[in-house]
């Protein structure tokens, strides 16, 4: 008898990822007590080991309580083997263990100014693109929890033009803040105009000193002129919350949106002790391409216009200029279609593309957009590519150096662009590679790939022949049409270009064959006597036209998917019949119940599992998906009268069960090149009477001292039966059914 000592109910409240050891105790008057989990489940990370619950609870999203049943069994154990011999008594008890989850989210992004600018600068220009990810972590993420970010209502002001996604991504383009209009004093400074005439105190104050006016014309600190900015800079302060659905943590962030003027050398607002700006801070804007790389397909012998564009709102300073680079990033020549020219100011590529005999040609070229400041924007420069010390440069030549554009001021060579005596300062630029396809004469849009000679094929073998053409237009899709000629009997041409089936060697009642040994003379004549169960045939040996090697010629039309282009080609296929015998495959077919047949059909026809693009010769019943369940017993067995098979199969056949084995893959290779043509997925069939992958003998001799005789029902034995042997008076010889492993 078993008595539980550990009380039922709650075994405690556990903390995630803390190692625990909870003992269970039950006593018995004899034998040994063993413990097992019979219902419910322990918290993840815990296990039952002997009489102890051990482990470390894994992360849970919320407070989780697990309920389970432990069985204490009173057993007798074999002292030698350690196995349970007998169970004397059992007693079950229900327990619960709770795990406390819901960890607080932890912010990883530092509070304060966000480094949203280029090169992780702690400022961003207005009208500039932002793509910044806020980061936080939560230990419960391992348990399937998710974090969500949102702006706290009334928690400050988020920069206009930007948005915050639920995943914490800050993205968009910052909107500019325009300065207030004024009507009088261009300086608009404090107390320089009557009250309420102009907005006061919104000016940028220049620094004091001699250089406020012309040098040394006034005493130091005599005047402090000011200027009114066109756009304003602003620090946006806002609060973002991150939550796991239970707990929420907030953090205050700042984004500093500034104008180009703010980053110029004469700015007197930035204080020395600020940590937001570094000496390399620049007001130069990096152009952002908005035109897709693939420019599309256009017809030759037409006027073509293409617009290339970057993000360039009217509030931005400077002028965008477009240059065609001499080479692409891969080293190939950067080339636009013949007849088209580039407008460096607008980015328009236009012109009449001349006649092109080629079906299709793709041009790949790389453009660089440069944001020239106003002082340089009125001159057209010639971009010479990446700076090279061995090249002589002339005035107004532009070169790329450290991803900036420099302008040559004096004819020279061997001078680095950083030498300001010879070069104007670098300006920001961005490059992008484009491609455009020009199509020519439509009549040549379809080309044949397959040769006219399709080779040879043997009778009774599944055809793997096909024809193939290509279209350089409209996605390359091709359809095929059988125009004229004839295929070998038994073969069929599909609109996909596949030639499927098996060459039929001999004619029969279903139709003609390669060799016509007999012909149906009245196949279409109606039966005069409706009671007649068969028709009469006239058999004639066709010795005059019979040929064991025969060439079949046929013509196929290939057309593109929109029927703009088509082309015919004549093919021939030679049948080589080197054997007058016919062969077939012997299968065992499964006859399932209707429910199982439907289940099998639903599975084998599921296009999400068996995708047509992954199947070899899709649509050919000899390949692709095999919709019927059958077992290949013998491949290539000679075809003969059915009675001979029936006699052979009637001997010692009986109902038995065979089993599915492992799923395997076989490869079909080209016998010459050893290239893999296709793969076959199949299942091994297991015969439990097979030992070491070998079947027992066809005939088994029983020993003379066998205890049980083999009994035969003599009622089933006929005169012409060859099952029993006269010499076997005691029936010591039996015939076994031989099963092999089938694929």
Q: DSSP for 176-242?
A: PEEPPP-SS-TT--TTSS-TTTS--S-SEEPPPSGGGSSTTSS-TTS---EE--SEE-EEEEEEEEE
Q: How far apart are CA 597 and CA 181, in angstroms?
A: 82
Nearest to 166 by CA among 265, 245, 270: 245
Q: Domain containing 8: what range?
A: 2-100
- The answer to whether 36 and 71 are in contact (CB under 8 A) is yes
Residues 88 and 117 in one domain: no
Residues 448 and 572 in one domain: yes
pLDDT value for 691? 67
Residue 589 lies in a domain: no
Residues 367 and 393 in one domain: yes
Residues 452 and 415 in one domain: no
- CB count within 10 Å of CB 464 equals 17
pLDDT value for 201? 45
Residues 130 and 86 in one domain: no
Residue 349 lies in a domain: yes
Residues 194-226: b if buried by 16+ CB within 10 A, e if exposed: eeeebeeebbbebeeeeebeeeeeeeeeeeeeb
Query: Concatenated DSSP letters for 312-378?
Result: --TTS-SEEEEEE-SB-TTSPBP-PPTTEEE-TTT-EEEEEE----SSEEEEEEEEEEEEE-TTTTT
Nearest to 571 by CA among 448, 445, 444: 448
- The answer to whether 739 and 689 are in contact (CB under 8 A) is yes
Q: What is the DSSP letter of 142?
A: G
Q: What is the DSSP letter of 117?
A: S
Please count the structural domains in the chain. Answer: 4
CATH number at residue 146: 2.60.40.10
Nearest to 570 by CA among 736, 448, 713: 448
Residues 113 and 253 in one domain: yes
Q: Hey, is 513 helix, strand or coil?
A: coil
- CB-based contacts of 73, cutoff 8 Å, min separation 6: 2, 33, 34, 35, 36, 87, 89, 90
pLDDT value for 592? 80
Residues 95 and 111 in one domain: no
Q: How far apart are CA 638 and CA 584, in angstroms?
A: 6
Of 54, 76, 100, the residue at which a domain comes to its end is: 100
- CB-based contacts of 524, cutoff 8 Å, min separation 6: none
- The answer to whether 531 and 542 are in contact (CB under 8 A) is no
Q: Is 92 left (phi over 0), alpha (psi -120 to 50) or beta?
A: beta
Residues 224-235 pLDDT 10s: 455 555 677 889
pLDDT value for 214? 45
Residue 167 lies in a domain: yes
Q: How far apart are CA 145 and CA 105, in angstroms?
A: 11
pLDDT value for 571? 94
Residues 458 and 423 in one domain: no
Residue 63 lies in a domain: yes
Residue 716 lies in a domain: no
Residues 111 and 259 in one domain: yes
Query: Which helix (DSSP H) or strand (DSSP E) does residue 66 occupy?
Result: strand 64-77
Residue 275 lies in a domain: no
The residue to which tokens 């020239």 are assigned: 372
Residue 157 lies in a domain: yes
Which residues of the chain fall below pLDDT 50? 182-190, 200-216, 224, 268, 272-273, 279-280, 517-547, 737-743
| Assigned token pair, 624 | 């692709």
Q: What pairs with residue 691 in β-bridges?
A: 694
Residues 121 and 95 in one domain: no
Q: How far apart are CA 308 and CA 338, in angstroms?
A: 18
Nearest to 368 by CA among 409, 407, 327, 331: 327
- SS in 3 state form for 599-643? HHHHHHCCCCCCCHHHCCCCCCCCCCCCCCCEEEEEEEEECCCHH
Query: Which helix (DSSP H) or strand (DSSP E) does residue 663 occupy?
Result: strand 659-669
Residues 297-312 pLDDT 10s: 888 889 999 999 888 7
Q: Hey, is 597 helix, strand or coil?
A: helix
- The answer to whether 557 and 565 are in contact (CB under 8 A) is no
Cα-atom radius of gyration of the chain, to the nearest Å? 44
pLDDT value for 144? 58
Of 405, 435, 465, the residue at which a domain comes to its end is: 435
pLDDT value for 541? 40
- CB count within 10 Å of CB 408 equals 23
Q: How far apart are CA 81 and CA 143, in angstroms?
A: 42
CA 338 remoteness from chain centre: 37
pLDDT value for 542? 43
Residues 90 and 118 in one domain: no
pLDDT value for 671? 81
Q: How far apart are CA 618 and CA 471, in angstroms?
A: 21
- The answer to whether 288 and 282 are in contact (CB under 8 A) is no
- CB-based contacts of 370, cutoff 8 Å, min separation 6: 287, 320, 321, 322, 323, 398, 405, 427, 428, 429
Residues 474 and 550 in one domain: yes
Of 219, 243, 263, the residue at which a domain comes to its end is: 263
Residue 692 lies in a domain: no
Report pTM: 0.39
| Assigned token pair, 35 | 């413990």
Q: How far apart are CA 623 and CA 668, in angstroms?
A: 12
Q: How far apart are CA 17 and CA 59, in angstroms?
A: 7
């Amino acid at each position: 008898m078993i008595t539980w000592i550990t009380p039922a109910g709650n075994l405690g409240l556990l903390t995630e990822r803390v190692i625990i050891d909870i003992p269970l105790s039950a006593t018995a008057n004899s034998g040994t007590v063993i413990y097992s989990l019979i219902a419910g489940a322990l918290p993840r990370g815990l296990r039952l080991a002997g009489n102890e619950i051990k482990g470390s609870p894994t992360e849970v999203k919320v407070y989780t309580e697990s309920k389970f049943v432990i069985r204490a069994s009173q057993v007798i154990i074999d002292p030698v083997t350690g196995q349970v011999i007998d169970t004397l008594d059992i007693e079950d008890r229900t327990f619960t263990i709770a795990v406390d989850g819901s960890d607080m989210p932890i912010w990883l992004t530092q509070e304060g100014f966000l480094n949203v600018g280029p090169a992780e600068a702690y400022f961003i220009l207005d009208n500039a693109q932002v793509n910044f990810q806020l980061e936080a972590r939560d230990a419960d993420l391992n348990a399937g929890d998710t974090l969500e970010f949102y702006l706290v209502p009334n928690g400050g002001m988020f920069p206009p033009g930007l948005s915050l996604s639920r995943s914490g991504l800050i993205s968009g383009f910052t909107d500019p803040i325009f300065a207030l209009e004024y009507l009088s004093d261009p300086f608009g400074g404090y107390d320089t105009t009557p009250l309420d005439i102009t907005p006061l105190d919104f000016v940028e104050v220049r620094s004091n000193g001699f250089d406020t006016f012309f040098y040394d014309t006034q005493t130091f600190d005599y005047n402090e002129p000011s200027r009114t900015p066109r756009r304003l800079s602003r620090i946006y302060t806002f609060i973002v919350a991150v939550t796991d659905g239970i707990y929420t943590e907030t953090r205050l962030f700042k984004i500093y949106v500034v104008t180009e003027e703010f980053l110029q050398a004469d700015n007197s607002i930035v204080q020395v002790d600020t940590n937001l700006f570094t000496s390399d801070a620049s007001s130069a804007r990096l152009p952002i391409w908005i035109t897709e790389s693939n420019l599309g397909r256009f017809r030759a012998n037409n006027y073509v216009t293409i617009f290339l564009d970057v993000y360039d709102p009217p509030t931005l300073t400077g002028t965008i200029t477009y240059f065609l680079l001499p080479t692409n990033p891969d080293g190939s020549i950067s080339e636009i279609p013949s007849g088209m020219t580039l407008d460096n100011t607008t980015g328009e590529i236009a012109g009449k593309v001349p006649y092109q005999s080629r079906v299709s040609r793709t041009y790949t070229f790389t453009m660089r957009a440069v944001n020239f400041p106003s002082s340089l924007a009125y001159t057209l420069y010639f971009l010479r590519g990446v700076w090279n010390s061995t090249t002589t440069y002339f005035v107004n030549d532009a070169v790329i150096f450290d991803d900036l554009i420099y302008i040559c001021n004096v004819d020279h060579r061997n001078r680095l662009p950083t030498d300001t005596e010879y070069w104007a300062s670098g300006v920001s630029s961005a490059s992008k590679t484009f491609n455009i396809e020009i199509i020519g004469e439509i009549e040549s849009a379809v080309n044949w790939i397959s040769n006219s000679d399709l080779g040879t094929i043997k009778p009774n073998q599944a055809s793997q022949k096909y024809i193939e053409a290509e279209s350089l237009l409209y996605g390359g899709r091709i359809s095929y049409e059988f125009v004229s000629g004839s295929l070998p009997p038994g073969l069929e041409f599909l609109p996909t270009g596949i030639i499927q089936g098996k060459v039929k060697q001999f004619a029969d009642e279903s139709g003609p064959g390669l060799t016509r040994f007999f012909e149906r003379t009245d196949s279409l004549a109606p039966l005069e006597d409706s009671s007649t169960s068969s028709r009469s045939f006239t058999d004639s040996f066709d010795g005059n036209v019979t040929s064991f090697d025969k060439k079949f010629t046929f013509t196929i039309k290939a057309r593109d998917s929109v029927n703009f282009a088509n082309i015919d080609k004549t093919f021939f296929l030679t049948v080589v019949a080197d054997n007058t015998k016919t062969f077939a495959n012997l299968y065992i077919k499964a006859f399932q119940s209707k429910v199982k047949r439907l289940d099998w059909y639903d599975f084998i026809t599921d296009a999400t599992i068996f995708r047509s693009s992954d199947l070899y010769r899709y649509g050919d019943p000899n390949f692709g998906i095999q919709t019927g369940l059958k077992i290949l017993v013998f491949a290539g067995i000679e075809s003969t009268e059915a009675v001979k098979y029936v006699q052979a199969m009637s001997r010692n056949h009986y109902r038995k069960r065979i089993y599915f084995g492992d799923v395997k893959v076989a490869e079909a290779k080209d016998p010459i090149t050893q290239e893999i043509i296709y793969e076959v997925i199949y299942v091994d069939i297991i015969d439990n009477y097979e030992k070491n992958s070998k079947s027992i003998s066809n005939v088994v001799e029983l020993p003379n001292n066998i205890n049980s005789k083999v009994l035969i029902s003599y009622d089933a034995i006929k005169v012409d039966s060859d099952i029993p042997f006269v010499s076997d008076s005691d029936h010591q010889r039996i015939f076994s059914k031989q099963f092999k492993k089938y694929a």
